[in-house]
Amino acid sequence: MTSAPISREAPVGLLLVNLGTPDAPDVAAVRRYLAEFLSDRRVVDLPRALWLPILYGVVLNTRPARSAKLYESIWNRDTSEGPLKTFTRLQAEKLQARIGASNLIIDYALRYGAPSIATQIESLIAKGCARIAVLPLYPQYASSTTGSAADAAFDALREMRKQPALRIGAPYYDDPAYIDALAANIRHARAALDFEPEVIIASFHGLPQAQIDRGDPYRAHCEATWRLLCERLGMNALSLRLAFQSRFGRARWIEPYTSDVVTELAGAGVKRIAVVAPGFAADCLETIEELGVEIRDLFLEKGGEKYARLPCLNDSAEGMALIETLAKREIAGWI
């Protein structure tokens, strides 16, 4: 007996995916979140016999308490969730309203934490979706982000006898729609400041240099985004500086580090700077607390006078226009 063909009227699923957030700003929830995140072989690709004793014997006994305090400082009390989850949920809700197709079901998932990619794929299948497009909201490809999201999506299908058709969205680091959205967002945010920055720092999330050396294209993608953004804004490599943040551990990460660039600028007499995070589709701990507090305090301590953290695209008009463009591309031919 053969299965009935997929009906063209059957709903199509679209799943927006971002990294994740703990379920609560407390030590236990943060420990669960970090355990899931840092045990992912694509995130930390050290030999398990070396890494797991460090993770469970040191990291998960020291880092959760500090991280929980930071999450507490940025937690969305109205919705009882971290800001990244709030923005990702809003992006899915607003995208559903913008596209408005009756046979398109849009939802969101987090690679670490809830709702998981597996849970949301199962939910879309239960709603009749035989075609599902997964759109990772990572502009620049990295094995530890886009690659890990794809792993989770295919793992969800591994034991299914009847699998849906599945697409994984491509990185969009050099897409004109992305560069246009970033440039417009920066112009609007800069115009709202009460000072004119002498320098803007484009701060991307860091990655261990060893992963780049083994062939990860992430740094090249970040550099391409930065160069295109310089062109679109009419800036150069001195007025729009490239930097990388959020390094962890003692190993060498890709450089220059955001903290070093800020220190250098302050030492050179620069008094007014702004920082933007082009690689983040939504504000989160790394942008709100690290860039908004830690890096700001460093700049002021070193002699700077004016500092601003420019917001991510989030669910802004520019951000939603970009996601709509990407979504329609990924579901082309299905809707």
Query: Are 238 and 191 in contact, with CB atoms under 8 Å apart?
Result: no
Query: Are 179 and 232 in contact, with CB atoms under 8 Å apart?
Result: yes
Whole-angstrom distance, CA of residue 248 vs CA of residue 245: 9
Q: Is 286 annotated as a binding residue?
A: yes
Whole-angstrom distance, CA of residue 75 vs CA of residue 272: 29
Whole-angstrom distance, CA of residue 322 vs CA of residue 98: 12
199-205, strands of its sheet edge to edge: 240-245, 199-205, 272-276, 306-309
Whole-angstrom distance, CA of residue 125 vs CA of residue 276: 38
Query: Are 282 and 91 in contact, with CB atoms under 8 Å apart?
Result: yes
Residue 314, φ and ψ in degrees, nearest 5:
50, -135
Residue 90, φ and ψ in degrees, nearest 5:
-65, -35
CA distances from residue 290 to 72, 177, 214, 293 in whole angstroms, order as listed: 14, 27, 28, 6
Alpha helices in 26-78 (DSSP H): 27-38, 48-54, 60-74
The residues with which 106 forms a beta bridge, in sequence order, are 14
The residues with which 76 forms a beta bridge, in sequence order, are 81
Instruction: Extract the annotated binding site for Fe(2+).
Output: 205, 286
Instruction: Extract the annotated binding site.
Output: 205, 286
